[in-house]
Amino acid sequence: MKLYLMSGESILNSQRAPELIRFVGESFRQLGFNKEAIEVYRKMLLKDMSPVDTQYVLLDMAESYLEEEDAFRARKTVDYLLARVKGSPIVDEFYAITAEIYMAEKKIALAREHFEKALKHDLAAEEITRLRLGLGELEFDQKNYSPAAINFRYACYFYKDFPNDSIPFRVQQAFVLLGDAEMAANNLTQAEFAYAQALSKFPEHPDKSRLTYLYGKAARKNGKNKEALTIRKDIAKQGDSDFWYELAQKEVKNLEWRLQNVNSINNAVVPSDEEPGNEGTNQAQQ
């Protein structure tokens, strides 16, 4: 990105311009500068490019608009792509971006169709992970929890294809979303396992306190009250002053009182997350 800022025009005029501009745009986007990325792509579109390079630059632009939550301009960009490269073969990534636009437009059937079309192509592991996560989130939003879990599980499968020190966040998130889908489907053992796997594989996960909380919730709902108490105490020990830490502190007291006042730990009746007194219930379920 620094190289572009220092010598933008020379990059735009180089023989490797499309490749370099895509790299610069991706760098801007990773920093959250989507508008700057779009301007870079606009400049590149003024140059002569092959139909394939044109498609990639336009798809990157459409994705930038999606990240800005501007589905209207993302759609216009894809429509322009089809007009500009009419008669040329469409690149594989087209279907993935189009599916995400349809999702943003709430056109569920068309989104599902394009996700499935994209998955028929020979794609790299990260692209398959992205598609499976997108299709899983679509099914989850429609309350189709079993198909959602299947797609998230596929995404988890590609974990092994990445070096341990450079696992994309979306791959890490696949394990969390798998747990969420299994929990929603009331498959508590599978949910517990998915959350445990996420904590084991990604100990520095940026959403660790929420993840740990949900792991404890799955254990409690699965009748493992002693284990749930231990997990809640682990969150409380972390000392992070966030919603999940505060909620865990409150539930530790509830669990301890219940476990001390029943004859059997396994038959302990503990308050559900939906009972009065557990503030922030709706956020805990998200």
pLDDT at residue 277 in the model? 39
What pLDDT, in 10s, does the model give residues 191-230? Answer: 999 998 888 888 877 777 788 888 888 887 887 877 777 7
Neighbours of 21 (CB within 10 A): 27
Q: Which helix (H) or strand (E) holds 157?
A: helix 145-157
With a threshold of 0.75, does the pTM exceed it?
Answer: no
What pLDDT, in 10s, does the model give residues 114-125? Answer: 999 889 888 888
pLDDT at residue 136 in the model? 95
Query: Which positions of the chain have pLDDT values less than 50?
Result: 1-8, 263, 265, 268-271, 274-286
State the SS3 of 63-131: HHHHHCCCHHHHHHHHHHHHHHCCCCCCCCHHHHHHHHHHHHCCCHHHHHHHHHHHHCCCCCHHHHHHH
pLDDT at residue 92 in the model? 77
pLDDT at residue 286 in the model? 45
